[in-house]
Amino acid sequence: MTSKDIRKYTLISILVNSKPQSTELPSQIAELAQIDFATAFEVWEFVLHFSGKDLLKLETAQNIETKVFENFIAQSETKTRQLLAASDPLLRLIYGACATTCTGVNLTTLVHLILSAKLDAADVALAAVRSNPTGDFGERMRIIVDLVFKTYCETKGVKKCELSRKQSALLLNYISKIKGPNKMLLTQRIKEL
């Protein structure tokens, strides 16, 4: 066993036994990701899973979701998106249990899942956003749709967003579940495409 392996298993041991509020946790997961990216992702899922109701607290969610997610994106955006899209349980934790859902890098990642046609992963994430008890689903959908339009137009260098039928159908499916004023507005915006 090399010193790198020893450090890897030491970090895993520390992380699975740490409290979600631990300020060292994001940097420890980042260090583990430099040694073994996929394992760090699995440990992150484990930590989120066993944090339970603590994820409903904004400060805790910022510590173990936002900071960790930002570190993963900074190390490898491609690997992060691939591993996230392949993990329904992690999608449900980030988007369905955290007070930080639909903010920062998790918002931009969700928008990229929708625009890159990884619609199965986007569907799981949107279902989780809908079930998230920490905020207004209608307002979160408005934020998502606004950023989908903005990102598409910036990426393609155009003024009008164009989505595939599947992308539009996915968004309309979740927009139809909104209660409140955003439902009509967002439905109209998607149907005008």
Domain co-membership, 76 together with 159:
no
User: Could you report the per-residue pLDDT of 22-58, keeping only the tens digit for each?
Assistant: 999 999 999 999 999 999 999 999 999 999 899 999 9
Domain total of the chain: 2
- Residue-number span of the structural domain to which 152 is assigned: 137-193
Domain co-membership, 170 together with 84:
no
Between CA 181 and CA 93 the distance in angstroms is 28
Q: Give the pLDDT of residue 54.
A: 94
Domain co-membership, 70 together with 95:
yes
Domain co-membership, 77 together with 151:
no
Kindly state the helix (H) or strand (E) to which residue 114 belongs, with its residue range.
Answer: helix 104-115
The mean pLDDT value for 107-123 works out to: 93
3-state helix, strand, coil in the chain (%, to 5): 75, 0, 25
Between CA 127 and CA 96 the distance in angstroms is 8
User: Could you report the per-residue pLDDT of 129-178, keeping only the tens digit for each?
Assistant: 999 999 899 999 999 999 999 999 999 999 999 999 999 999 999 999 99
| First CA to last CA distance, the chain | 57
